[in-house]
């Protein structure tokens, strides 16, 4: 008899009278997107959180977006999610990064007011039809055979549902370290989820330990900004959501830049003997791209100075977030190191920095839909899967919410491919390669980077979102109008002939550097690197261009990138011949002729869904893939598209076979 | 890594026919037990041991040396046994049969090398070099194949790929970490390094092209008006050279081929129907074929009559056929005007004056032919045996580097894309998967992160 049955017998548990189709556990960025998506798709959904007050809490730095991450936010937006529009309502500084490095790697980043952001998210949750909120810590998952059945809360209330999305963040057996002292916590100020963590360990899901950190916070009244470099937002401020408007933005604030110095580094070196990281107290693996300041100084000893960004936490607080000095050194060292920095000589710390260790589950035990392979209906999303970042969490939450909603209606999973969205890259990386450190999105993870741009996230995903029931009529109408404007304008550029000899020669020379004799279509002229859409319109056809900035940008990017995009499409088409070759779940890799023992063992352990996925597992060589392809073709296996998983029935059959 | 082979293969490894020594090679998990069955013992690894080879009834088939190579250091990466008996076809066949009896199956052509590739003992370029070595028609070609097989070519490509990878790491760092206080593109002189890389690539390309010449040779088309002596020139070239000449006669008006080897480089000579205006439909068809041959060849030899003005003749021929990039002009029949042989280079075209009749000037012509395919005396020493596929990949690699260079100050995302294409192209040569953990390398090389 299991734990839950014992309690039930003792009368400690009461059944919640309303039955839900989908239950989402956790109210962070993954949980809120999951709950909203499921409810938008019409499923009766419960969001179970230990605290309604902290729904949409930004527990680390107060910013949304950045390289690769901004891409994810725009994709969440195109699929009807909340993150982008909430940022438009809460953002106090907006910037475009990589502005001059090309449209594919251009990314939006915003500083957000924590209070306004929470308010924006909670407002959406509370006003979403089909969505119910309930405050109580989840302690136990109910499992019947190989399927999930419900959840029991701390005080013994039982909720039943066919699908559960677990988004426990860093709360699973979380331990906070400051210097050599440590205590159990979910994040600063919140209790950890210990019972749930134990329960999950009982379910025999593969679990590991990761670490992340955060810097101390500083009272802005004690900062001398006059010695720092001001970093204002872009003018005009960019907008995150397709439905967002500049007028939604609250008052805007700058960030500030200062630097560490030799003295700072000496202070840090002097404190390393009391660092939980350097003394081996912390076992979890931290992210290399977001190292603590002690780690940076240790690993790059010849660097005499590091940049620090002072980011405002909001309009109604004096607190600043010093980005760049995440640390778990003892508090006295933290204070000394901060006060050694120019402009922070008199800094008052409002909260200590800390490192947090927490449990995560090996995402290789998940399907691409984020459903666990072991338990039907149980989905994991967010930091629990070994990722870091609000955007990565929100994207997974959205996907898990969609697929939980589809599962309870018997519909096949829906997962974008690596060539369709960063979201597709994210889940494929997770379930195929697993993680060795907290996973963060970068554009270099996306091999189809040129096609996966922020500027075309709406064009890539709105239709899918509409088909799934995530996109409302207002957004759809606006999207269709934009799409039409782009198509019309491209047609016009393609068919409008332009004779440069009749145009003003001085302007031609100003634009091209020399007189132009040969005529051509407007599209042909736009292909030239020195010409932009706006300069082309001014030169060749004043007053005739598109007014819609976004549509105009899109026309320009599409034309300028055409050659590369076509090349990538060919590449994608070629890969798809392999990508859609499904590897049967019961495939006996030992029977594949010529496969090395190492590869055989890796494939048997991970059981990739498609040949393309197999190719991305480390150590699987092109030669091994050819052998696999030949073998599977010989078996006469079928094909499905890369975007859907093998049908549920097939998976059932496999499970039965595996059990038998 | 211990490879698992599904079955054990065996084959006669020496050329068919009678010879002094005949070798049967066995590879796979059963190799040791087959060795025991045939020779009664398994010798210690890599030590030759003299044994008699017995059949199932214990009767002696042959006697000779047995060698055992344990994995993973063997040729295929699997257990390998070699029986070196006498070169009698009957004895070898009986020995092979005995191995089959003991559980091996007959290997498909190239299967030993295929297994070596699958077990990571050879990369693709090396595996191809094995075939080239076996097929090599000259000592120079064989030396080039050995150089490729021993990995010299693969190493050069690997170095190239490694440099491309480090360039990509820097460009990717510039893209994904724009807020760091380093300007990667400028500080690390990406442009200059791309330029250097292109020069290195050119060096490899030259050596590979020499190797491709050694392997595939050059096609030379002889063009000229009727009766200028094309055929006798062909016969003279082919006849004087002691290499194998295999004239493949077609119909009289079809191009006639001859094969000669100069300094190790095979030349495929194509004689053509004389170019002139003709009313005869059959001759016209022959002339059309000559023109088609001319456009496909690596090199054209324009044969002229020494008695007429060379420039005028040359111009007439050039107007009459689409010529390949490289041409040699030959003034034949100098014996008729009492001129002596000479070789003159003017405006990129070498004009050689010869007599096919007497053979005078033929050595000058041979030199000109070699020079026209970029062959320097003893040039084979640096050559890598290479295939058109390799040259094609190197050419694409260079194109992408060129594009990357032109985009450096324009658009970083496209620079990254071009560098990736360049690396993929170079990686195709060795067929090895290149490292995909660029991010890992970025974190190791730069202090990144806020």
Per residue in B436-447, pLDDT tens?
A: 556 666 666 666
Is there a contact between B410 and A309 if contact means CB atoms under 8 Å apart?
no
If one compares A478 and B110, the residue with the highest pLDDT of the two is A478
Mutation target vs B (from A105, A320, A561; most B CBs, 10 A cutoff): A105
Per residue in B93-137, pLDDT tens?
A: 889 889 988 988 888 777 788 788 777 777 777 777 777 776 666
Touching check for A574 and chain B: CB below 8 Å? no
Touching check for A619 and chain B: CB below 8 Å? no
State how far residue B115 is from chain A, nearest Cα, in angstroms.
8
Touching check for B121 and chain A: CB below 8 Å? no
Percentage of chain A with pLDDT > 90? 60
Most confident of A78-87, B5-14, B113-122, B181-190: A78-87
Between the two ends of chain B, the Cα-to-Cα distance in Å is 40
Mean pLDDT, residues B412-416: 93
Burial grade of A496 (CB within 10 A; 0-12, 13-18, 19 or more): middle
Write A568-572 long-range contacts (CB < 8 A, 24+): A568/A419, A568/A448, A568/A450, A568/A451, A569/A451, A571/A448, A572/A419, A572/A448
- Rounded distance between C-alpha atoms, residue A373 and residue A274, angstroms: 42
- Rounded distance between C-alpha atoms, residue A49 and residue B213, angstroms: 73
Percentage of chain B with pLDDT > 90? 20
Per residue in A163-190, pLDDT tens?
A: 999 998 877 888 899 988 888 887 767 7
Element (H, E) at A630: helix A622-635
If one compares A233 and B115, the residue with the highest pLDDT of the two is A233
Per residue in A235-289, pLDDT tens?
A: 999 999 999 999 999 999 999 999 999 999 999 999 999 988 888 888 878 787 7
pLDDT category of residue B186 using cuts at 50, 70 and 90: confident
Find tokens 């996966």 and name the residue. Answer: A452
CATH class of B134-213+384-431: mainly alpha
Whether the Cβ atoms of residue B270 and residue B255 lie closer than 8 Å to each other: yes
Per residue in B348-363, pLDDT tens?
A: 788 999 998 888 998 8
Q: In B84-229, where does DSSP find H-type helix?
A: 89-101, 111-118, 124-135, 139-149, 152-176, 184-187, 190-216
Find all residues with CB under 8 Å of A379, minimum gap 6, and list them: A34, A163, A164, A165, A166, A369, A370, A371, A372, A400, A403, A404
Mean pLDDT, residues A478-490: 94
Output the CATH code of domain B218-372. Answer: 3.40.50.300
Region of poorest pLDDT, from A49-53, A165-169, B426-430:
B426-430
pLDDT of A655 above 60? no
Touching check for B119 and chain A: CB below 8 Å? yes
What does the DSSP 8-state code read for residue A62? S
- Rounded distance between C-alpha atoms, residue A439 and residue A381, angstroms: 13
Mutation target vs A (from B78, B176, B443; most A CBs, 10 A cutoff): B176
Whether the Cβ atoms of residue A24 and residue A163 lie closer than 8 Å to each other: no
If one compares B296 and A442, the residue with the highest pLDDT of the two is A442
Touching check for A529 and chain B: CB below 8 Å? yes
Per residue in B128-176, pLDDT tens?
A: 777 777 666 666 667 777 677 667 888 888 899 889 988 998 899 889 8
Q: Are strands B349-353 and A207-214 parallel, antiparallel or unpaired?
A: unpaired
Touching check for B416 and chain A: CB below 8 Å? yes
What number of residues does chain A have? 660
- Rounded distance between C-alpha atoms, residue A614 and residue A612, angstroms: 5
Touching check for A563 and chain B: CB below 8 Å? no
Angle at alpha carbon of residue B106, lines to B101 and B112, rounded to 5°? 130
Whether the Cβ atoms of residue A298 and residue A265 lie closer than 8 Å to each other: no
**In chain A, whose CA is at the least distance from the CA of B428?**
A622
Q: What is the pTM assigned to this prediction?
A: 0.78
Find all residues with CB under 8 Å of A191, minimum gap 6, and list them: A50, A137, A184, A185
- Rounded distance between C-alpha atoms, residue A27 and residue A137, angstroms: 11
User: Who among A323, A450, A618 is closest to B417 (CB)?
Assistant: A450
- Rounded distance between C-alpha atoms, residue B344 and residue B331, angstroms: 11
Tell me if residue B64 falls in helix, strand or coil: strand
Per residue in A72-125, pLDDT tens?
A: 999 999 999 999 999 999 999 999 999 989 999 999 999 999 999 999 999 999
Is there a contact between A596 and B1 if contact means CB atoms under 8 Å apart?
yes
Cα-trace Rg, chain A: 27
Confidence (pLDDT) at B200: 92
Task: Give the CB-side neighbour count of residue A242, counting CA atoms within 13 A.
Answer: 33
Tell me the two tokens of residue A516. 């132009």
Is there a contact between A97 and B179 if contact means CB atoms under 8 Å apart?
yes
Q: Are strands A175-178 and A181-184 parallel, antiparallel or unpaired?
A: antiparallel
Is there a contact between B180 and A67 if contact means CB atoms under 8 Å apart?
no
Touching check for A443 and chain B: CB below 8 Å? yes
pLDDT of B199 above 60? yes
If one compares B228 and B378, the residue with the highest pLDDT of the two is B228
Homologous superfamily, domain B9-122: Probable tRNA modification gtpase trme; domain 1 (3.30.1360.120)
Q: Is the peptide bond before A167 cis (omega within 30 degrees of 0)?
A: no
- Rounded distance between C-alpha atoms, residue A547 and residue A215, angstroms: 45
Confidence (pLDDT) at A35: 98
Q: Which 116-175 residues of chain A touch chain B by CB within 8 A?
A: none
Per residue in A622-648, pLDDT tens?
A: 667 777 777 777 676 443 333 334 333
Most confident of A96-100, A179-183, A575-579, B53-57: A96-100
Is there a contact between A98 and B438 if contact means CB atoms under 8 Å apart?
no
pLDDT category of residue B26 using cuts at 50, 70 and 90: very high
Per residue in A594-604, pLDDT tens?
A: 677 778 888 88
> Sign of the C-alpha dihedral, residues A255, A248, B178, B441?
positive
Region of poorest pLDDT, from B85-89, B163-167, B422-426:
B85-89
- Rounded distance between C-alpha atoms, residue A382 and residue A167, angstroms: 6
- Residue extents of the structural domains in chain B: 9-122, 134-213+384-431, 218-372
Find all residues with CB under 8 Å of A115, minimum gap 6, and list them: A314, A316, A317
Tell me the two tokens of residue A434. 């697993």
pLDDT of A658 above 50? no
- CA A61 vs. chain centroid, Å, equals 15
Mean pLDDT for all residues in chain A: 88
User: Who among B6, B118, B447 is closest to A303 (CB)?
Assistant: B447
Mean pLDDT for all residues in chain B: 80
Find tokens 């397709």 and name the residue. Answer: A242
Beta strand ranges found along A416-498 (DSSP E): 497-498
Per residue in A526-550, pLDDT tens?
A: 988 788 898 888 888 777 788 888 8
- β-sheet bridge partners, residue A121: none
Tell me if residue B273 falls in helix, strand or coil: coil
State how far residue A495 is from chain B, nearest Cα, in angstroms.
28
What does the DSSP 8-state code read for residue B71? S
Write B105-108 long-range contacts (CB < 8 A, 24+): B105/B7, B105/B8, B105/B9, B105/B10, B106/B9, B106/B10, B106/B11, B107/B9, B107/B10, B107/B11, B107/B27, B108/B9
Touching check for B314 and chain A: CB below 8 Å? no
- Rounded distance between C-alpha atoms, residue A415 and residue A30, angstroms: 16
Cα-trace Rg, chain B: 29
């Amino acid at each position: 008899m299991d734990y839950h049955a014992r309690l039930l017998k003792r009368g400690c548990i009461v059944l919640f009278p309303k039955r839900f189709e989908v239950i989402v556990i956790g109210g962070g960025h993954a949980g809120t997107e999951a709950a909203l998506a499921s409810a938008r798709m019409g499923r009766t959904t419960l969001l179970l959180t230990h605290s309604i007050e902290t729904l949409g809490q930004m527990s680390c730095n107060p910013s949304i977006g950045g390289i690769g991450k901004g891409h994810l936010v725009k994709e969440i937006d195109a699929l009807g999610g909340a993150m982008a529009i909430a940022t438009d309502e809460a953002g106090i500084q907006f910037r475009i990064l990589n502005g001059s490095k090309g449209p594919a790697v251009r990314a939006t980043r915003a500083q957000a007011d924590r209070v306004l952001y929470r308010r924006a998210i909670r407002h959406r949750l509370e006003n979403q039809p089909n969505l119910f909120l309930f405050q109580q810590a989840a302690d136990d998952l109910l499992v019947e055979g190989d399927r999930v059945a419900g959840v029991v809360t701390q005080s013994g209330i039982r909720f039943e549902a066919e699908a559960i999305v677990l988004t426990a963040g860093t709360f699973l057996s979380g331990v906070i370290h400051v210097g050599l002292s440590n205590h159990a916590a979910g994040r600063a100020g919140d209790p950890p989820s210990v019972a749930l963590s134990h329960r999950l360990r009982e379910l025999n899901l593969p679990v590991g330990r990761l670490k992340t950190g955060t810097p101390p916070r500083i009272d802005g009244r004690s900062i001398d900004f006059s010695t720092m470099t001001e970093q204002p937002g872009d003018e005009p401020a960019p907008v995150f959501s397709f439905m967002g408007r500049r007028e939604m933005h609250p008052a805007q604030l700058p960030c500030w830049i200062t630097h560490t110095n030799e003295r700072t580094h000496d202070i840090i070196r002097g404190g390393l003997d009391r660092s939980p990281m350097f003394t081996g107290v912390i076992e979890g693996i931290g992210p290399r791209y977001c190292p603590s300041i002690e780690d940076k100084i240790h690993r790059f000893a010849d660097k005499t100075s590091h940049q620090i960004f002072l980011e405002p936490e909001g309009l109604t607080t004096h607190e600043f977030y010093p980005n760049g000095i995440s640390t778990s050194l003892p508090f006295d060292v933290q204070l000394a190191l901060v006060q050694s920095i120019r402009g922070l000589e008199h800094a008052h710390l409002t909260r200590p920095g800390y490192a947090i260790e927490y449990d995560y589950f090996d995402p290789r035990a998940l399907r691409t839909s984020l459903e666990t392979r072991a338990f039907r209906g149980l989905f994991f999303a967010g930091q629990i899967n070994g990722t870091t970042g609000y955007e990565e969490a929100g994207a997974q939450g959205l996907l898990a919410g969609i697929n939980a909603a589809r599962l309870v209606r018997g519909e096949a999973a829906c997962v974008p491919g690596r060539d369709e969205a960063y979201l597709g890259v994210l889940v494929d990386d997770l379930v195929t390669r697993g993680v060795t450190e907290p996973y963060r999105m970068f554009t270099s993870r996306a091999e189809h980077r040129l096609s996966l741009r922020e500027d075309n996230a709406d064009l890539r995903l709105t239709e899918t979102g509409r088909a799934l029931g995530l996109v409302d009529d207002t957004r759809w109408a606006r999207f269709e109008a934009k799409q039409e404007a782009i198509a019309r304008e491209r047609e016009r550029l393609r068919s409008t002939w332009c004779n440069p000899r009749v145009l003003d020669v001085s302007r031609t020379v100003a634009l091209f550097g020399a007189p132009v004799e040969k005529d051509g279509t407007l599209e042909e002229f736009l292909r030239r690197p020195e010409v932009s859409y706006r300069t082309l319109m001014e030169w060749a056809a004043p007053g005739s261009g598109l007014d819609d900035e976004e549509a105009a940008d899109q026309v320009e990017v599409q034309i300028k990138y055409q050659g590369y995009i076509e090349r990538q499409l060919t590449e994608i088409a070629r890969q798809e011949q392999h990508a859609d070759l499904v590897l049967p779940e019961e495939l006996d890799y030992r029977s594949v002729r010529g496969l090395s023992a190492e590869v055989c063992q890796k494939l048997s352990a991970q059981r990739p869904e498609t040949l393309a996925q197999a190719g991305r597992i480390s150590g699987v060589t092109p030669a091994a893939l050819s052998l696999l392809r030949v073998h599977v073709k010989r078996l006469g296996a079928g094909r499905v598209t890369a975007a859907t998983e093998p049908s549920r029935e097939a998976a059932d059959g496999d499970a039965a076979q595996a059990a038998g | 890594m211990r490879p698992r082979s599904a079955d054990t293969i065996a084959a006669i490894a020496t050329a068919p026919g009678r010879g002094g020594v005949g070798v049967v090679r066995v590879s796979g998990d059963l190799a040791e037990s087959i060795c025991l069955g045939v020779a009664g013992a398994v010798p210690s690894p890599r030590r030759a041991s003299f044994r008699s080879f017995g059949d199932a009834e214990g009767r002696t088939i042959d006697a000779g040396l047995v060698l055992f190579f344990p994995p993973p250091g063997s040729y295929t990466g699997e257990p390998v046994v070699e029986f070196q008996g006498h070169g009698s076809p009957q004895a070898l066949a009986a020995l092979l049969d005995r191995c089959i009896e003991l559980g091996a199956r007959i290997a498909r052509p190239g299967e030993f090398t295929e297994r070596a590739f699958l077990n990571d003992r050879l990369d693709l370029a090396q595996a191809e070099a094995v075939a080239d070595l076996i097929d090599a028609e000259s000592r120079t070609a064989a030396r080039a194949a050995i150089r490729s097989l021993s990995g010299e070519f693969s190493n050069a490509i690997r170095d190239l790929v490694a440099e491309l990878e480090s360039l990509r790491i820097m460009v990717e760092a510039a893209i994904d970490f724009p807020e760091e206080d380093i300007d990667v593109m400028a500080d690390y002189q990406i442009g200059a390094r791309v330029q250097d890389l292109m020069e290195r690539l050119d060096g490899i390309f030259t050596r590979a092209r020499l190797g491709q010449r050694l392997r595939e040779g050059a096609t030379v088309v002889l063009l000229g008006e009727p009766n200028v002596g094309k055929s006798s020139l062909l016969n003279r070239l082919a006849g004087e050279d002691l290499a194998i000449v295999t004239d493949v006669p077609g119909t009289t008006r079809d191009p006639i081929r001859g094969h000669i080897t100069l300094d190790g480089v095979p030349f495929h000579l194509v004689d053509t129907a004389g170019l002139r205006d003709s009313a005869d439909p059959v001759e016209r068809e022959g002339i059309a074929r000559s023109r088609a041959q001319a456009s496909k060849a690596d090199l054209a030899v324009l044969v002229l009559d020494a008695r007429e003005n060379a420039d005028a003749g040359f111009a007439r021929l050039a107007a009459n056929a689409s010529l390949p990039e490289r041409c040699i002009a030959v003034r034949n029949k100098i014996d008729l005007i009492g001129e002596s042989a000479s070789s003159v280079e003017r405006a990129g075209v070498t004009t050689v004056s010869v007599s096919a009749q007497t053979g005078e000037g033929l050595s000058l012509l041979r030199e000109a032919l070699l020079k026209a395919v970029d062959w320097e005396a003893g040039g084979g020493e640096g050559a890598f045996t290479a295939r058109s596929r390799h040259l094609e990949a190197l050419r694409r690699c260079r194109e992408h580097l060129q594009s990357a260079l032109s985009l450096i100050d324009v658009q970083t995302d496209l620079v990254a894309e071009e560098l990736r294409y360049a690396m993929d192209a170079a990686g195709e040569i060795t067929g090895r998967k290149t490292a995909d953990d660029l991010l890992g390398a970025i974190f190791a090389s730069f202090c990144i992160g806020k």
